[in-house]
């Protein structure tokens, strides 16, 4: 089916739980075929957003559109499927039996052998689920989600609790499958997963999108340097006006200047102010993530 609609369109999405605003006017558009990481710290609102996107929770305000229709339509038509963190597997069935049994619930599915192959678990088809590792069980959940051949696959922190090897194998299966053109949205708080497996990273904090770009663009946010100096009473406005300066932070007597031109900042501090103890460090992706997702951002 050709689509003129975005795969996902969230507009002004809002959800509160008592005094907590879990999702706060969130807007997001995902084109068909994109592999998008929804990245944020604990409590950022990722799961609440995913629940609304799948029609499992009702927004207090705003709208969810999947391929131009409601989440309920998309689920009914088998256009969206999800892999959640836990639940739903019977330990005594084998991997293949689980797939065949689940296929009965759908009217029409891809063949069991094909989804096992795509999920990278064809070789353990006869293994009882209870004997499978956490990573293998997640790949089984992925296989089940592939049965209706969905256009959009949604994964909510699917590798929580897995070891490094399990995570790698799991993502290899997802990534290989995504090459067939499926749209993938995955929530994670692992920066390295977002970096390695997504084309685009949407950073969320306190229920809002705080950065959105290709992984290269998000990495560029981290490309600058931090110039740190001891300078009581620093003139923040003067520093902020220097070329290349992204932000200026004051911590006690110290001033931290995030900049693309550390030479200009260093020159200014040393020639025009009483700054001392000057330090220049590179920002890495981890720092950019923290800068964008902590309240100081
Ligand atoms: N059913 C609920 N009742 C009350 N508060 C809730 C409920 N669900 C979520 N919250 C709160 O809403 C906020 C967002 O939670 P959410 O689970 O969506 O975040 P998250 O980004 O998925 O976090 P994590 O990475 O820890 O799973 C948190 O402050 C959480 O405590």
User: Could you please report the per-residue DSSP string of the chain?
Assistant: ---SS-SEEEEEEEEEETTEEEEEEEEEEE-TT-EEEEE--TTSSHHHHHHHHTTSS--SEEEEEETTB-HHHHHHTT-EEEE-SS----TTSBHHHHHHHHHHHSSS---HHHHHHHTT-GGGTTSBGGGS-HHHHHHHHHHHHHTT--SEEEEESTTTT--HHHHHHHHHHHHHHHTTT-EEEEEES-HHHHHHH-SEEEEEETTEEEEEEEHHHHHHHTSSEEEEEE-TT--HHHHHTSTTEEEEEEETTEEEEEES-HHHHHHHHHHHS--EEEEEEE--HHHHHHHHHSTT-
Instruction: Answer yes or no: is pLDDT of 175 > 50.
Output: yes
Under the banding of pLDDT at 50, 70 and 90, the label for residue 17 is very high
Instruction: Give, for ligand 1, the residue of 41, 44, 156 to mutate: max count of ligand atoms closer than 8 Å to Cβ.
Output: 44
Task: State pLDDT tens for residues 189-242.
Answer: 887 788 888 999 999 989 999 889 988 777 666 667 889 999 999 999 999 999
pLDDT of residue 286: 65
pLDDT of residue 26: 97
Nearest CA to ligand 1 atom 28: 43
158 CA → ligand 1 middle, Å = 16
206 CA → ligand 1 middle, Å = 10
Residue 4 neighbours by CB distance under 10 Å: 7
Fold designation for 8-220: Rossmann fold (3.40.50)
Nearest CA to ligand 1 atom 3: 17
pLDDT of residue 84: 78
Ligand 1 binding pocket includes 43 (Cβ within 6 Å): yes
Ligand 1 binding pocket includes 293 (Cβ within 6 Å): no
Nearest CA to ligand 1 atom 26: 42
Under the banding of pLDDT at 50, 70 and 90, the label for residue 294 is low
Q: How far apart are the two ends of the chain, measured CA to CA in Å?
A: 42
pLDDT of residue 297: 34
Ligand 1 binding pocket includes 44 (Cβ within 6 Å): yes
Ligand 1 binding pocket includes 47 (Cβ within 6 Å): yes
pLDDT of residue 288: 65
Instruction: Answer yes or no: is pLDDT of 9 > 60.
Output: yes
Ligand 1 binding pocket includes 200 (Cβ within 6 Å): no
143 CA → ligand 1 middle, Å = 27
Does domain 224-293 match CATH 3.40.720?
A: no
Task: State pLDDT tens for residues 255-277.
Answer: 999 888 899 999 999 999 999 99
pLDDT of residue 287: 65
Least-confidence region, from 159-168, 169-178, 184-193, 288-297: 288-297
Ligand 1 binding pocket includes 20 (Cβ within 6 Å): yes
Ligand 1 binding pocket includes 45 (Cβ within 6 Å): yes
pLDDT higher for 238 or 163?
238
Residue 27: HSE in the Cβ half-sphere, 13 Å Cα cutoff: 3
Domain parsing of the chain, residue ranges? 8-220, 224-293
Nearest CA to ligand 1 atom 1: 17
Least-confidence region, from 52-56, 155-159, 192-196, 246-250: 192-196
Task: Give the phi and the psi of residue 285 in degrees, each rounded to 5.
Answer: -60, -35
Instruction: Answer yes or no: is pLDDT of 295 > 50.
Output: no
Strand 225-230 vs strand 80-83: parallel, antiparallel, or unpaired?
unpaired
Ligand 1 binding pocket includes 205 (Cβ within 6 Å): no
Average pLDDT over residues 92-112: 90
């Amino acid at each position: 089916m050709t689509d003129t609609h975005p795969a996902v369109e969230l507009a002004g999405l809002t959800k509160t739980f008592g005094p907590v605003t879990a999702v706060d006017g969130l807007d997001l558009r995902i084109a068909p075929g994109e592999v998008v990481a929804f990245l944020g710290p604990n409590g950022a609102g990722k799961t609440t957003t995913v629940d609304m996107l799948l029609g499992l929770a009702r927004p207090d305000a705003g709208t969810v559109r999947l391929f131009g229709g409601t989440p309920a339509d998309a689920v009914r038509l088998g256009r969206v499927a999800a892999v959640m963190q836990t639940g739903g597997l019977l330990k005594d069935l084998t991997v293949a039996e689980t797939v065949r049994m689940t296929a009965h619930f759908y009217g029409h599915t891809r063949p069991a052998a094909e989804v096992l192959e795509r999920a990278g678990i064809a070789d353990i088809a006869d293994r009882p689920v209870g004997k499978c590792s956490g990573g293998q069980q997640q790949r089984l959940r992925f296989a089940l989600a592939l049965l209706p051949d969905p256009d959009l696959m949604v994964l909510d922190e699917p590798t929580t609790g897995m070891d490094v090897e399990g995570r790698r194998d799991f993502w290899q299966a997802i990534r290989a499958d995504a090459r067939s053109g499926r749209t993938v949205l995955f929530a994670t708080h692992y920066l390295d997963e977002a970096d390695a497996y997504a084309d685009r990273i949407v950073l969320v904090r306190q229920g809002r999108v705080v950065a959105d770009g290709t992984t290269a663009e998000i990495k560029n946010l981290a490309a600058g340097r931090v110039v740190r100096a001891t300078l009581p009473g620093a003139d923040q406005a003067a520093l902020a006006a220097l070329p290349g300066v992204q932000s200026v932070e004051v911590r006690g007597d110290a001033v931290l200047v995030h900049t693309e031109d550390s030479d200009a900042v260093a020159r200014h501090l040393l020639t025009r102010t009483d700054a001392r103890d000057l330090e220049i460090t590179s920002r890495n992706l981890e720092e950019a993530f923290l800068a964008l997702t902590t309240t100081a951002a």
